[in-house]
Amino acid sequence: MTQGVSVRILTSKAVHEQIEKLIDEDIIIRKDETRGKFQIRIVDMLHQQQRQRLQSKVSILIVDSKLCLVEDLEIYNKNENSNGTISLATYSNSESTVLTYISIFETLWAQTELATQRL
């Protein structure tokens, strides 16, 4: 049963394909990409320069524009003895912090839309 939450995901093409398999539905990456309220955009469409600026070792999750969790994936593999159990994440409800990550997300979201329109 759906709950009416809008879900937007920015990710790579490879991850997108995996998500489609996972949820067993096609999510069309075009202007009409919306499938219900579940939208995915592909960062691979961005210019190379833009992609290089993107910190690829960080995952961002923002919920209801009120809470954010940013996970650094880099640290995970650095510790060979951790058996994959060490990570680093910051979790905040600070308005300024959440707004900063929203701004990053929305900028990338808009850029991928422009890139999609160029196709």
Partner 1 sequence: MNETGSFPSYSPLPPETTEVLYGNENIQRKVLESFSWVKEELDGCIESDVLSMTVIYDAIWNGFVELKKKGVKLRSITEVTPDNISYVKKSMDLFETRHTTGLRSNFGIVDKRECLLHSVSHEDQPLSHAIITNAKALVEAQYFLFETLWKNAIPAEEKIREIEEGMKPQFTETFRDHLQIQKVVLDLVNSAKQEIRMLILPSSRSTNGFLSEEREQVITQSFKKR
Binding site for partner 1 (CB under 8 A): 1-12, 14-15, 18-19, 22-23, 36-38, 43, 54, 56-65, 67, 69, 71, 73, 76-77, 84-95, 97, 102, 104-105, 108
Minimum separation from the CB atom of position 67 to partner 1 (A): 6
H/E stretch holding 72 reads strand 67-72
Query: How far apart are alpha carbons 12 and 29 in whole angstroms?
Result: 12
Pick the closer one to partner 1 by CB: 87 or 117.
87
Query: How far apart are alpha carbons 15 and 9 in whole angstroms?
Result: 10
Minimum separation from the CB atom of position 28 to partner 1 (A): 15
Buried-state track 93-111, b at ≥16 Cβ within 10 A, e below 16: eeeeebeebeebbeebbeb
Pick the closer one to partner 1 by CB: 3 or 119.
3
Minimum separation from the CB atom of position 19 to partner 1 (A): 5
Please say whether the beta carbons of 5 and 38 come within 8 A: no
Pick the closer one to partner 1 by CB: 96 or 118.
96
